[in-house]
Structure 1
Amino acid sequence: MQNNIINTITLCLLATLITACQRAQTTENTMESEVDSRVELTLDAIRSHPDIEIGTLQTRSIQTQVACTGMLDIPPTDRISVHSKVEGFLTDLRFIDGDFVKQGTVLARIENISFVQKQKQLLELKAQLELAKNNCNAKNCLTHKQQPAKKALTKHKVNWHC
């Protein structure tokens, strides 16, 4: 029985020793193959090879266009916030995030429905004011000629604050 244990232990040690030696040889073979794959060319070897030409240094365009895909993200050096004085919807955006812009350049157009309506009302009221001023001037001319129109003129002035 003791003989069996000794034989088993000896067999295990022998198997371990053989396996370890094989791994070391594999590593050495890999290093040798890496060394063998390198090729060094000397100037004489280059000159003697018929397919290799040596010329003078020239500047020339190899390819005028580079086609590639990907994403380039460069953080901007100056970041400026832009705010609008009125609320509304963006109808036209004339820049891309990260573009360089100059002062005074139109970046976007904003449309505000209520602002447009208020501008329309303002123009209508300006037209009414102009009409009232014209009526007032016309009635002033008539008062010099006619006294009965004086009463109508006073009433008109009170209504339109002339």
Structure 2
Amino acid sequence: MSKVTDMVEELAAPILEEMQLELVDIEYVKEGKNWFLRLFIDKENGVDIEECGLVSEKLGEKLDELDPIPHNYFLEVSSPGAERPLKKAEDFMKAVGKQVNVKTYEPIDGEKEFEGKLTEFNGEALKIDVNIKTRTKTYEIPFEKVAKARLAVVF
């Protein structure tokens, strides 16, 4: 994580704790000429626009007061959406039984991308049932080999 995202996480923690919200992810990225600081927040039954606005307001005040970022940027606070990223072990535990998309750093059984039902996570590895034509194949993926993961939208 960058110094900016670490610092913002530290500033946001008490605000989110007070509002009983979870920090899902922080991005600090340059897109074109502009910098964006994005916080993705959530809670059990999802967040609404008022909660996002309140977090943005409170965090914006803290950032204005401390002025830790030397250039202009846009602060965005939102829900992670239906394709919520899975980063921490806790995220994977909550996702057991759901459809996920996982990309790995290196091939596992010749594959680097898996989409299917997360059937198990024990902290060390995850098991995903992937439907391949007329059968289901179970892949066991070591947690440390997960490069990127998110919930998958099922139609």
Q: What TM-score do the two structures reach when normalised by structure 1?
A: 0.20
Question: Greater share of strand residues, 1 or 2?
Answer: 2
Q: What TM-score do the two structures reach when normalised by structure 2?
A: 0.20
Higher RCO (CA-CA < 8 Å; seq separation 6+): 2
Indicate the structure (1 or 2) with the bigger Cα radius of gyration: 1
Question: Greater share of helix residues, 1 or 2?
Answer: 1
